[in-house]
Amino acid sequence: MKPTEGGGALGLFDEARVVGVVLKKELVLYLRYPVWVLFDALMPLLWVLSLVIYGRALVGSPYSENLARLANTGDYVSFTIVGMIVSSFAYSTLWGMSYALRGEQWSGTLESTFLAPCSRFSILLGKAFSSMLTTSLWVFLQISLVSLVFGLNVKFLNLPFAMLFFLVALPSFIGIGFSLAGVVLDFKEHSAFVNFLSSLLGLLLPISYPLSVLPPVLRYFSYLLPPTYAIEGMRSLLIMDSGLNEVMGLAVPLIFFDVFWLSAGIMIFAREERRVLKKGTLGYY
Among 6, 47, 111, 140, binds other proteins (CB under 8 A): 47
208: contact with other proteins by CB under 8 A: yes
CB of 60 to other proteins, least distance (A): 3
31: contact with other proteins by CB under 8 A: no
Among 28, 29, 49, 157, binds other proteins (CB under 8 A): 49
The vertex-35 CA angle with 30 and 38, nearest 5°, equals 85
CB 249 within 8 Å of CB 229: no
Q: Dihedrals φ, ψ of 72, to 5°?
A: 65, 10
Among 156, 187, 196, 256, binds other proteins (CB under 8 A): 196
Among 12, 57, 148, 167, binds other proteins (CB under 8 A): 57
CB of 120 to other proteins, least distance (A): 28
107: contact with other proteins by CB under 8 A: no
Burial 256-268 (b: 16+ CB within 10 A, else e): ebbeebbebbbeb
Beta strands in the chain (DSSP E): none
Stretch near other proteins under the rule CB under 8 A, chosen from 116-124, 155-163, 173-181, 202-210: 202-210
Under DSSP, is residue 184 helix (H, G, I), strand (E, B) or coil?
Answer: helix
Query: How far apart, in whole angstroms, are the C-alpha atoms of residue 125 and residue 253?
Result: 23
Among 199, 220, 249, 252, binds other proteins (CB under 8 A): 199
Q: Which residues on neighbouring strands pair with residue 75, listed in sequence order? A: 63
Query: How far apart, in whole angstroms, are the C-alpha atoms of residue 67 and residue 35?
Result: 38
Stretch near other proteins under the rule CB under 8 A, chosen from 30-38, 97-105, 260-268, 271-279: 30-38
Phi-psi region of 200 (alpha: psi -120 to 50; beta: other; left: phi over 0): alpha
60: contact with other proteins by CB under 8 A: yes
* CB neighbour list of residue 27: distance below 8 Å, 6 or more residues apart: 130, 133, 134
Interface residues with other proteins (CB under 8 A) are 33, 35-36, 38-39, 43, 46-47, 49-60, 64, 66-67, 69-71, 76, 192, 195-196, 199-200, 202-203, 207-210, 213-214
